[in-house]
Structure 1
């Protein structure tokens, strides 16, 4: 029998870890200040994100009006579509090609091609500059994820692609929910990535998978927004997502917040704009899995607005004014 001190030691050790699927994941010990610092470093290292004013335009339109079914123009306008051919974008979009079934309650299928596509995505994000910021911290903290490339790849694959059940069968994963979106009880759940949403907006082959933007609920500069939209005929009354970030940034930031602030708010500041990244855990088959992780716009801030104005002025000074175009 354990003595009292041994028992308390066990409790302390378990408090630093959590089970995910069949694995035990150690929490990443970061202060609030360290989290904010790392998040901004990821932002600064996000070299694959498009330039907001020239390569990437956002048609915000008006605040969501219940009488309007669709906005007059798509939400996103990529003036440089070649951006989507960059490896990390292509790796994400390849995973939208029929590997996952969005409807909850239908078992997901496994295949060698699916495993290869998932591995390609993991390899691309872990080789990105935003993720290297996280990896450096993982090494400094002697986190188990950073004990080798094979361990890192398997740990992230288990964390993001490990399957669990939302409705009696193995029908979901953290990745599918967060990046691709799912359908449950006739409504859209998840779907917190603008790159995938942009693809759905431009889908002309399957009306049931075409995204229709209806208007914004809230927005913060060129960083983040909350919107109302339809996916086919299914509603998403409110969905929040980063604007114009690379898939590697989203993945890296979400992973940091899952590890450091699991099942609670992970408060960050991106270019002076407050953002809360929320992760939620659920119990499945006796273990804890990440049901979702998503960003929420923080309080409106004059620093956020001022920083955005400075960046717009700098961009305008570097090119002919006629090229600058932003939709209100």
Structure 2
């Protein structure tokens, strides 16, 4: 599929988001590559005996972006207020992940889209540096040290004042569930609607606790590739959009992007949070 945006896609961001979805050929297939347990969440704090994931196939282990993403998950202290320290090995892991993503269709499309819109001019190497700044630059979210980054908050998750924040990536949920850090509570109907859980859907709302910190409601893509989410959030960030309506996998969504202005230095605009909402 072509990775150059059409005029219609350049004039309608909803079509561009749909194109990114269509380009996500590394997305896993429900019922084939993974299966989910989706009991209805009852009272808060009532954990189910089941894990969210019944199984996940070995397909992700054969795809570089999945494996390189997985390597990043133990690089962070998932709690605000505690300064992060990044060593040279972790920096090299960040770089390897970005390089792999830049070879995929969603990220190639995003770069072409931003160039066509006049929002980025430069080489792929320059774009890699820009992505590194947007996603991995440490900033101060709480406390006195640099305790957070866009990648940590969006893709890894953090605990703040005893409550779990973000945790919107399914690979991270799978990783934490395997290591016993997440207690899954079940499916939560979005906005209190009378909806039935669909284990074949690629977007689901759930409730869980992370090391005792409650996440009362979390909407996550399931089975999508890391490069799809990275590409979509990056594109919408550059476009300056905080709300973007889209229909993906037959579900009406609003893609939220919260900007974060550094509290120290020159107030650089970065990403504070990014996630899908079911509407």
TM interval, short-chain normalised: 0.7 to 0.9
TM-score by length of 1: 0.74
1:222 has 2:201 as partner: yes
- Larger Rg belongs to: 1
SS in 2 for 1:110: coil
Q: CA deviation at 1:102?
A: 1.2
**Aligned length, in residue pairs:** 260
Matching of residues 77-96 of structure 1 within 5 Å: 77-96=54-73
Q: Distance in 2 between matches of 1:47 and 1:31?
A: 19
Q: CA deviation at 1:175?
A: 0.2
User: Of 114, 117, 123, which aligns to 1:148?
Assistant: 123
Greater helix percent: which structure? 1
1:19-42 per-residue CA deviation (whole Å, 9 max, x = no partner) reads xxxxxxxxxxx9896211111111
**Residue number in structure 2 paired with 1:160:** 135
Q: Distance in 1 between matches of 2:254 and 2:208?
A: 21
Is residue 212–residue 229 contact of structure 1 (8 Å, CA) maintained in 2? yes
**Residue number in structure 2 paired with 1:255:** 234
Q: Distance in 2 between matches of 1:260 and 1:273?
A: 23
Is residue 32–residue 267 contact of structure 1 (8 Å, CA) maintained in 2? no
RMSD between aligned residues: 2.0
Matching of residues 235-314 of structure 1 within 5 Å: 235-262=214-241, 264-283=242-261, 284-285=263-264, 286-287=266-267, 288-298=269-279
1:202 has 2:178 as partner: yes
1:95-138 per-residue CA deviation (whole Å, 9 max, x = no partner) reads 012x2111211111021101101111111111112222212212
**Residue number in structure 2 paired with 1:124:** 100
1:55-98 per-residue CA deviation (whole Å, 9 max, x = no partner) reads 11121112x2006622231112334124234210111110012x
**Residue number in structure 2 paired with 1:211:** 182
Q: CA deviation at 1:172?
A: 0.3
Change beyond 3 A, Cα 1:233–1:48? same
**Residue number in structure 2 paired with 1:110:** 86
Any gaps of 5 or more consecutive residues in structure 1?
1-29, 205-209, 299-328
**Residue number in structure 2 paired with 1:100:** 76
Q: Distance in 2 between matches of 1:181 and 1:103?
A: 8
